Amino acid sequence: MSDLSLYRNIGIFAHVDAGKTTTTERILKLTGKIHKTGEVHDGQATTDFMEQEQERGITIQSAATTCFWKDHRLNIIDTPGHVDFTVEVYRSLKVLDGGVGVFCGSGGVEPQSETNWRYANESEVARLIFVNKLDRVGADFYRVVKQVEDVLGANPLVMVLPIGREDDFIGVVDLLTRKAHTWPDPGNPEKFEIGDVPEDMVDDVEEWREKLIEMAVEQDDDLMEQYLEGNEPSLDEIKHCIREGTRKLDFFPTYCGSAFKDKGIQLVLDAVVDFLPNPTEVDPQPLTDEAGEPTGEVALVSADEPLRALAFKIMDDRFGALTFVRVYSGKLNKGDTILNSFTGKTERIGRMVEMHANDRAELNSAQAGDIIAIVGMKNVQTGHTLCDPKSPCTLEAMVFPEPVISIAVAPKDKGGAEKMGIAIGKMVAEDPSFRVETDEDSGETILKGMGELHLDVKVDILKRTYGVELDVGKPQVAYRETITQEIDDSYTHKKQSGGSGQFGKIDYRIKPGEPGSGYQFSSTVVGGNVPKEFFPAIEKGFQGMMEEGPVAGFPVLDVEIELYDGAFHAVDSSAIAFELAAKGAFRQSMPKAGAQLIEPIMKVDVFTPDDHVGDVIGDLNRRRGMIKDQDAGATGVRIKADVPLSEMFGYIGHLRTMTSGRGQFSMEFSHYMPCPANVAEDVVAEVQERKKAS
């Protein structure tokens, strides 16, 4: 039985290009897991093993690895930074106990860092902060600390101070021990010197150290009293306080260095061991019933409990399907039979492996706190709970965002259709934010995803990994429809044909709902004019029609329907008659209720150097954008705006041209808004064209 107090399940997350993968590489080197560090920009990084990752120099899927530091076992997950793959970050955070947020020393708190930080807050994950790339031009540790306070609204607890700036950055001062750590030889991270604090920094060190201790002792009233009386607590007592505060998310211990130049990573590893919680110290996962309501029970982290585990990621590789699992409680042995509570089916565990990016080591058993991969599971998808057949349960299910962009694809040669179908099936199981459907009218395969890059990578994987060449259509926006006016109406469905007929009369009110409310049905019928048993049929009739609106056949959102009166016939009325009455009512009333197209609006966050601000804002205005906020930083300006998705295609190329390659942006779905009349006309005309063609 392994000692759980020596486990740390951590993730590394940050904005694209802040240096997460490089940091992970250095950690693996220091812990002796690899002997030669690979560089991202050479396409050699250990955790970036997909071809697409090596070429683009970005991480696409989270990679898991295990290493040891000071007798502690670290299960590390390197997550992607691009907004299109946020779902990867989200599901990784779900199963981690702690994290390291990496920020770029010159870029500071970038758009994507905010999204990731928000996810981590929602998942209540304790974190350290590592300010990376302090050797870059324009890097400023103190500015990034201030940004963490202002932009993220978090409390950074500064643990080290940098020695030197930009090119002269040589090491850091550890505030707790008042010792300077310097790395004289850039290619050799293991070799470092511990000396005294440089003379010109003594005052700064004392000032920041005082802040650090004041913040830490707030966790313990007795120590605080002693401190106020002038007695400084011992190092162990301070560390205990920091650990407590980190676990409660009161503050976030903050470190700095340069991963690329091998400076400062040891201290971060020490902090992971010293301050981040082990699996038994985090709040245990609540159990829910099938509907997702909490039952009041929790999955206690102990090997003696019944088995509770969550499948959080599925990956297909050359050996078959790998299911990544976090074991919350109980034990898992090779050959055990387990229950998938979502499908209600049992499966036998064949092989279990411990992952190191692309390599693996065989295991015979795993226990609470472990993160492992199981080979060859059949019907398991992301978010499913695996448990003991004798005590079934569900861990909180994961919720994934709705895709906002779609493309039509078709295989170039006829024989590729089956191959494409199998490949896409595997990819949908791996990535819950990627959906696929078939257009009934044209028979096209439609791929849906979170953004252009997301779909671009998927098409690339189909081509390279599965050898399916595709013809790709233009990206399509997920338009929706809604209504603008309230109307009262009545509809009678009557049909007489020998024997019993059909009769159902409904009086109803259709009105616009609150934005984001979807479809709501209520009934205020009194006196039994429409018997209660027909209500579900009426609701079902209306709901079935919501899939296709009157304007251009897009799904209908944000509509409230109230049934207030009607009539029935003792013989001829049936559930089907009332369902047909509801469908007829929808067709009759929707066009009268001022139906209109609504389009997805994206929350866009653009970073641009100072000298191009005017161009960028002018361009966003031309794209029908609403500028919400401007924030000037040291190296440029961040502009926040709401822009329709249809105007954002190909934006990254355009932005780079405008800003001489220095601009960057991120966007995520915000809400739906009515389309202007000219845009709506174009969309309707395009839909009609498509229908004619098919």
652-662, pLDDT tens digit by residue?
A: 778 878 877 67
**CA separation, residue 601 to residues 202, 454, 539, 644 (Å):** 52, 18, 30, 4
At 634 the three-state DSSP class reads coil
Token pair in block for residue 439: 């257009």
CB of 371 within 8 A of CB of 64? yes
Full 3-state SS string of 331-369: EEECCCEEEECCCCEEEECCEEEEEECCEEEEECEEECC
> How many Å separate Cα 163 from the centre of its chain?
36
Amino acid residing at 82: H
Does position 570 have pLDDT exceeding 60, yes or no?
yes
Q: Which residues does residue 352 pair with via DSSP β-bridges, in sequence order?
A: 363, 374
Cα 209 from Cα 203, distance rounded (Å): 10
> How many Å separate Cα 76 from the centre of its chain?
17
At 38 the pLDDT is 45
Q: What pTM value is reported for the model? A: 0.63
Between strands 365-367 and 179-182, the pairing is unpaired
Mean pLDDT of 399-415: 73
Token pair in block for residue 266: 């040891």
Cα 529 from Cα 505, distance rounded (Å): 9
At 642 the pLDDT is 92
Runs of H (alpha helix) within 590-663: 613-622, 651-658
CB of 185 within 8 A of CB of 194? no
Token pair in block for residue 350: 């064949």
Cα 508 from Cα 636, distance rounded (Å): 56
**CA separation, residue 300 to residues 98, 339, 512, 533 (Å):** 18, 18, 46, 44
Cα 582 from Cα 544, distance rounded (Å): 9
| pLDDT above 90: percentage of residues in the chain | 2
Cα 257 from Cα 132, distance rounded (Å): 5
Token pair in block for residue 281: 């110290």
Mean pLDDT of 14-23: 61
At 268 the pLDDT is 82
Does position 44 have pLDDT exceeding 50, yes or no?
no
Cα 160 from Cα 609, distance rounded (Å): 30
Mean pLDDT of 280-308: 71
Cα 276 from Cα 242, distance rounded (Å): 10
At 439 the pLDDT is 66
At 574 the three-state DSSP class reads coil
**CA separation, residue 81 to residues 84, 112, 214, 316 (Å):** 9, 7, 34, 22
Amino acid residing at 174: D
Element (H, E) at 286: strand 285-288
Cα 445 from Cα 676, distance rounded (Å): 29
CA nearest neighbour of 171 among 281, 292, 255: 255
CB of 649 within 8 A of CB of 452? yes
DSSP structural state of residue 511: E
Report the mean per-residue pLDDT for the chain: 77
602 burial type by CB count under 10 A (0-12 exposed, 13-18 middle, 19+ buried): buried
Token pair in block for residue 309: 């585990």
CA nearest neighbour of 177 among 202, 209, 131: 209
Q: Which of 95-104, 191-200, 323-332, 568-577 has the lowest mean pLDDT?
A: 191-200
Token pair in block for residue 110: 């970038």
CB of 520 within 8 A of CB of 560? yes
At 247 the pLDDT is 86
At 88 the pLDDT is 56
CB atoms within 10 A of CB 330: 24
CB of 562 within 8 A of CB of 455? no
User: pLDDT per residue over 92-107, tens digit each?
Assistant: 666 778 888 888 777 7
Sign, CA dihedral 465-468-474-476, equals negative
**CA separation, residue 492 to residues 535, 579, 591 (Å):** 15, 11, 18
CA 520-525-526 angle, to 5 degrees, is 150
Q: What is the DSSP string of 439-455?
A: -TTT--EEEEESSHHHH
CA R_g for the chain? 29
Does position 47 have pLDDT exceeding 50, yes or no?
no
Mean pLDDT of 608-625: 88
Cα 659 from Cα 650, distance rounded (Å): 15
User: pLDDT per residue over 592-608, tens digit each?
Assistant: 888 888 888 888 888 78
The residue written with tokens 């429809």 in the block is 481
Does position 427 have pLDDT exceeding 80, yes or no?
no
At 314 the three-state DSSP class reads strand
Identify the top-confidence range among 114-128, 336-350, 447-461.
336-350
Cα 655 from Cα 625, distance rounded (Å): 15
CB of 65 within 8 A of CB of 33? yes
CB of 316 within 8 A of CB of 41? no
CA nearest neighbour of 546 among 493, 572, 582, 571: 582
At 438 the three-state DSSP class reads strand
At 92 the pLDDT is 64
Between strands 371-375 and 394-395, the pairing is unpaired
221 burial type by CB count under 10 A (0-12 exposed, 13-18 middle, 19+ buried): exposed
Element (H, E) at 10: strand 7-14
